[in-house]
């Protein structure tokens, strides 16, 4: 029976007849579900959000850089978790946020695991893609499934493959980004490699699920620490009267031993501000303090306050106070050409300026409305009038649609945290 389970599953994956269920249809789950459907697999996406399910049924994408028109095969979507009974492979793509105490919150992963466990059947492959700390797949999910009397690698198969979705990236996508995979047992590893080789060009197997979980944390911790380094350089350059953008640009001409990172108003999104804390938390359990991770987090979280200090200083030079000043925020999404405001530093910048009495408005072509300080703000039109009637314009996100020269032409004062105005010389511009 164990051999039969593996051979049957291997065969239906190879023939692209395996029924795939994706749990969680967000920025990670939706592109993955569509990709499996595109290459011919029967796919059902499962999500508790009825609005998402209805949009998928109507062929409407709610992820900016995902278009249903690019895919040849229809994707089914449902809120009914019992559809998992039909699945040959179930892939978990749910969020893993931090709690209020900045500890890992794996409640959605555990909920997804329990849901799969209720419908688990022999010969089924389960893959976790959600970012988490080393040991999660082995210590939390495996017991949930083996409690049913099934044995991993014999009756069912369990694996981990970290998501590497970068929303808005024009060069790298799900297909051409190498996919790291690992299984609880050798059979699990073989099957997860076979599964993902159907939808991506390069599969990278590693020795254990713990290793695969650590890979994702290294990737994002690397970025967090290097961003913190360059953010601190921005502060140091400010104290020294130097242009940090010029410094980075010149350093980037070195063809070896240097990789340019760029400063900004702080970290945003669901990965880089969050993932390193999973590692730091895990190491605390082993009586080890991840000092560099914690220091980087401290620097990055202070950047919104540094931006606000620049706003205060610039207004003071104009003999104006923040209190009562009209402050226009350009871009509230956490990254360029995205509508994602999760952990966006713009929210912190706006909150700090609001607390100082500033009258806050914003414009973002990708975010039409925003919950802010117990109210709903709406993106205002970006016109010569809205720019000229603001006391200060703060560029927080450098969306491609922003016309830097028009902004400089009409705004009386600009705080540019993203170097949107590079190459433009004007006394009204204050760069980070």
Catalytic residue among 93, 188, 237, 271: 271
Query: 35: which 2 tokens?
Result: 């990709």
Residue 279 has, within 13 A of its CA and on its CB side, a CA count of 25
Partners of residue 157 on adjacent β-strands: 125
Q: For residues 259 and 245, what is the distance between their CA atoms, to the nearest angstrom?
A: 14
Q: For residues 115 and 228, what is the distance between their CA atoms, to the nearest angstrom?
A: 39
At 11, which helix (H) or strand (E)? helix 2-14
Q: Rounded to whole angstroms, what are the CA distances from 17 to 26, 37, 127, 175, 218?
A: 24, 11, 18, 20, 35
3-class SS of residue 54: helix
For residue 237, indicate whether it is catalytic: no
Q: Return the C-alpha torsion angle 397, 400, 401, 404, nearest 10.
A: 70
Give the pairing of strands 359-363 and 414-416: unpaired
Give me the helices (H) in 120-161, please: 136, 142-146
Query: 125: which 2 tokens?
Result: 């492959």
Catalytic residues: 271
């Amino acid at each position: 029976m164990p051999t039969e389970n593996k051979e049957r599953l291997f065969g239906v994956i190879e023939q692209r007849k395996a029924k795939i269920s994706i749990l969680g249809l967000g920025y990670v789950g939706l592109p993955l579900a569509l990709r499996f459907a595109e290459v011919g697999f029967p796919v059902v996406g499962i999500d508790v959000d009825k609005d998402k399910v209805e949009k998928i049924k109507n062929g409407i994408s709610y992820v900016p850089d995902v278009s249903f028109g690019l895919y040849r095969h229809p994707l089914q979507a449902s809120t009914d978790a019992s559809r998992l009974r039909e699945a040959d492979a179930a892939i978990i793509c749910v969020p893993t946020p931090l709690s209020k105490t900045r500890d890992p919150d794996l409640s959605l992963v555990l909920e997804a695991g329990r849901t799969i466990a209720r419908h688990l059947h022999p010969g089924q492959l389960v893959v976790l893609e959600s970012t988490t700390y080393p040991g999660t797949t082995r210590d939390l999910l495996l017991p949930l499934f083996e409690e049913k009397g099934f044995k991993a690698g014999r009756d069912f198969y369990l694996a981990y493959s970290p998501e590497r979705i970068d929303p808005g990236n024009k060069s790298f996508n799900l297909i051409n980004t190498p996919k790291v995979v690992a299984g609880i047992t050798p059979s699990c590893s073989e099957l997860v490699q076979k599964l993902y080789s159907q939808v991506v060009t390069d599969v990278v197997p590693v020795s254990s699920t713990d290793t695969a979980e650590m890979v994702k944390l290294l990737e994002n911790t690397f970025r967090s620490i290097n961003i913190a380094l360059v953010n601190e350089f921005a502060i140091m350059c400010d104290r020294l009267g130097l242009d940090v953008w010029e410094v980075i640009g010149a350093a980037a001409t070195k063809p070896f031993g240097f990789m340019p990172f760029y400063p900004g108003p702080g970290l945003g999104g669901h990965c880089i501000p969050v993932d390193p804390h999973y590692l730091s938390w895990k190491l605390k359990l082993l009586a080890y303090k991840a000092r560099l991770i914690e220091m980087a987090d401290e620097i990055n979280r202070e950047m919104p306050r540094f931006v606000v200090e620049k706003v205060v200083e610039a207004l003071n030079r104009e003999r104006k106070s923040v209190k009562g000043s009209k402050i226009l925020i350009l871009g509230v999404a956490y990254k360029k050409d995205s509508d994602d405001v999760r952990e966006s530093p713009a929210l912190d910048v706006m909150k700090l300026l609001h607390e100082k009495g500033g009258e806050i408005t914003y414009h973002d072509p990708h975010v039409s409305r925003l919950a802010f300080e117990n109210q709903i703000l709406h993106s205002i039109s970006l016109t010569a009038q809205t720019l000229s009637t603001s006391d200060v314009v703060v560029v927080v996100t450098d969306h491609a649609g922003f016309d830097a020269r028009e902004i400089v032409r009409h705004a009386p004062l600009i705080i540019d945290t993203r170097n949107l105005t590079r190459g433009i010389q004007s006394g009204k511009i204050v760069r980070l």
